[in-house]
A and B are shown apart, each in its own frame.
Chain A
Amino acid sequence: MLELSGIAVSDGVAIASAYCLIEPDLSFEKSRISDIHAEKVRLKEACIKAKNQLAEIRAIADRKFGAEKAAIFSAHLLLLADPEMLAAIEGKIDDGWNAEFAVQETANEYIQIFEAMDNRYMQERATDIHDVSTRLLAHLLGVEIPDYSSISKDVILVAQDLTPSITAQLDTSYVKGFITDRGGRTSHSAILARIMEIPAIVGTKTATQELVQGAPIIIDSTRGKVIMNATQEVLDEYLEKQQAFIEQRQLLKQYRLCESVSADGHRVEIAGNIGKPQDVELVLANGGDGIGLFRTEFLYMHRHELPLEEEQFLAYKMVLEKMQGKPTVVRTLDIGGDKNLSYLKFVHELNPFLGLRGVRLCLAQQDIFRTQLRALLRASVYGNLKIMFPMIATLDEFREAKAILLEEKQKLRDEGIPVAETIEVGMMVEIPSAAVIADLFAQEADFLSIGTNDLIQYTLAADRMNEQVSYLYQPYHPAILRLVKMVIEAAHQNGKWVGMCGEMAGDEIAIPILLALGLDEFSMSAPSILTTRAQIANLSKVNLSTHLEQLLTLTTAREVEAYVKKYLWQAR
């Protein structure tokens, strides 16, 4: 039995035999030529053949996947006609090199440029250049590119990378999963796997070397694992897992359009956490009631300079429009701590998690903060925007941040730029001091959102990245439960709503407790939304509440967990 790890890009379990896509042998000699004109004619003829072939593939892709997926081949056709690239290739032929070398060398130059770019999308375009140049090279060498459309039994594809021209030819009904050496979350193979709803593991680095043609393979996307030649015992286990996954997916689909309501009719909101505008699709596909946490750091990361107001505005606007009036809570920049930006000077800190991060940094560097707030305010007219500030420890910070927001709002109004009439302004409760005086905050904030990941690490004084103390990361610690209870009660006494956007909100042990405590909004990663809605639909808030007093007298996290499993899971 052999196990490999990679990045799981699509959920599920797949069991089938390996089909290794063997790349054709395109090796050639780098050589000097004498007849430059004849060499250019050879290049031209190869280009024409490659174009004809691509046009055919585009037509097939159009029939199988639709115009959007076929569009990539229009881009490939343009690459073959690219005047800059052709000039570079011909320049090398003029220097006396053979066409094969000229093509490969030019392709490599461009691949290097794209791979060096600071933008993941552009990095992955190197695959397109590789795909096109390989085709051109094959025609120059008279080597046939294998016909992938001949697969006629269930397989798991194993490849260095799945290029669009390969995937377009596959009969996808036989493909049960993908495993690739290269690629990331946004590579073609990843996107295709999600469209096809089949499991896929990318970036394994060595799959094509270690997996054997025809060998039985298991893909376990929940663990990001590939298993070859599993024992009967392991295989049986996975057959069961696969069955359970399929049943679960069917069952959950029933909850997609349901309201989020407990068995005794108590309504809550189950929302999604997102890190990029595109993630909205996943929240909507899982029937989310809103966005409970839109992290905005993505706009600032993997780049050389601060994002322009306009770029931010477009990103916020797109999310708000796609949410069609559903509540969308945007968290202002939470940089610092473990997340630094190469283009901003960060003073080295001994304890970055206790240092200049979140709203602290925004208040210290107000130009960054004001640009973001302006972009948000301008976008506010396109949906149901709510804004919250991270890392609030004192009322002064909240008041100052809110005052800056109101100043920017007034400035925009004075400039004649429309801003929504009412925008709720709230805060994250993730620092114990904020939880303890939540009653004071609730008088001034429109809502509170409990960020449990940080609240737990700050309350137990345990770095959650440090494995030596990771046992102290205890969501069910009585101190955490009491803090959560305090925050919820304080907000409700002031007529405000409370959300939770840490991992705890989608945790099956925590959910019954949070429901009993009266949490209004549960925000989590999109794939957890339906399981949470299904769980809440089977719980009765009234019945759960009768257990609260007892639950809050338990002395350890372990006791809480045991109590929930024993009494609260059946509190229908």
Chain B
Amino acid sequence: MKKTFKITVLEGLHARPTTLLVTTVNSFESEVSITYEGKTANLKSIMGVMSLAISAGAVIEISAIGSDAKELIEKITEVIISQGIGEEC
């Protein structure tokens, strides 16, 4: 399962939005990664996500593999949109 988003939160993926994303996916079994400009990080690793230094306007892809991948993508989409972190593209 893959989904592409555009980051709209002005400061980019700083500590606050990243914490939200990582906390959200931590409760799922599936493996989940985030890709930005050809670089991929584990979305369950706050360090990995922040080291991508994703700024506002960036287009990212979230990809999940596992038994609850579908639910994970649904939940992360809801969080990204409801918390003003980004929008679907």
Q: How far is the CA of A83 from the CA of B42 in the complex (A)?
A: 9
Structural contact, B15 and A311, CB atoms closer than 8 A: no
A85 within 8 Å of B by Cβ?
yes
**Residue numbers in B under 8 Å from A110 (CB-CB):** 47, 51
Structural contact, B45 and A74, CB atoms closer than 8 A: no
Number of interface residues of A (CB under 8 A): 33
Q: Identify which of residues 20-76 in chain B touch chain A, using a CB-to-CB cut-off of 8 Å.
A: 22-23, 26, 41-42, 44-48, 50-51, 53, 55-58
**Residue numbers in B under 8 Å from A277 (CB-CB):** 10
Structural contact, A315 and B19, CB atoms closer than 8 A: no
Q: How far is the CA of A75 from the CA of B26 in the complex (A)?
A: 13
**Residue numbers in B under 8 Å from A548 (CB-CB):** none
Q: How far is the CA of A281 from the CA of B79 in the complex (A)?
A: 27
A128 within 8 Å of B by Cβ?
yes
B47 → chain A closest CB, angstroms: 5
Structural contact, B46 and A78, CB atoms closer than 8 A: yes
Nearest opposing residue in chain A for B8, CB measure:
A314
Q: Identify which of residues 35-82 in chain A touch chain B, using a CB-to-CB cut-off of 8 Å.
A: 71-72, 74-75, 78-79, 81-82
Structural contact, A128 and B15, CB atoms closer than 8 A: yes
**Residue numbers in B under 8 Å from A311 (CB-CB):** 55-58
**Residue numbers in A under 8 Å from B42 (CB-CB):** 83-84
B72 → chain A closest CB, angstroms: 16
Structural contact, A82 and B10, CB atoms closer than 8 A: no
Nearest opposing residue in chain A for B16, CB measure:
A71
B77 → chain A closest CB, angstroms: 20
Question: How many A-B pairs with Cβ below 8 Å?
Answer: 71
Q: How far is the CA of A95 from the CA of B86 in the complex (A)?
A: 41
Nearest opposing residue in chain B for A307, CB measure:
B57
Q: How far is the CA of A118 from the CA of B44 in the complex (A)?
A: 24
Q: A293-326 CB contact bits vs B (8 Å, 1 = yes)?
A: 0000000000000011111111100100000000
Q: Identify which of residues 231-264 in chain A touch chain B, using a CB-to-CB cut-off of 8 Å.
A: none
Stretch of A119-127, A154-162, A404-412 on the interface side = A119-127
A119 CB contact (under 8 Å) in B15, B48, B53, B56: B53
B46 CB contact (under 8 Å) in A82, A113, A312: A82
A124 → chain B closest CB, angstroms: 10
B79 → chain A closest CB, angstroms: 14
Q: How far is the CA of A318 from the CA of B44 in the complex (A)?
A: 30
A382 within 8 Å of B by Cβ?
no
Contact A84/B45 with A72-B15, A74-B23, A310-B6 known, Cβ cut-off 8 Å = yes
B2 within 8 Å of A by Cβ?
no
Structural contact, B57 and A310, CB atoms closer than 8 A: yes
Nearest opposing residue in chain A for B55, CB measure:
A311
Task: Across the A-B interface, give the 6 residue pairs with the lowest CB-CB distance, nearest first.
Answer: A311-B57, A310-B57, A84-B45, A78-B46, A75-B15, A308-B57
A-B residue pairs in contact (CB < 8 Å), sample of 26: A72-B15, A75-B15, A75-B16, A78-B19, A78-B22, A79-B46, A79-B47, A83-B42, A83-B44, A110-B47, A113-B51, A114-B50, A117-B53, A118-B53, A119-B53, A119-B55, A121-B11, A125-B50, A128-B15, A129-B47, A308-B57, A310-B57, A314-B8, A314-B57, A315-B10, A318-B10
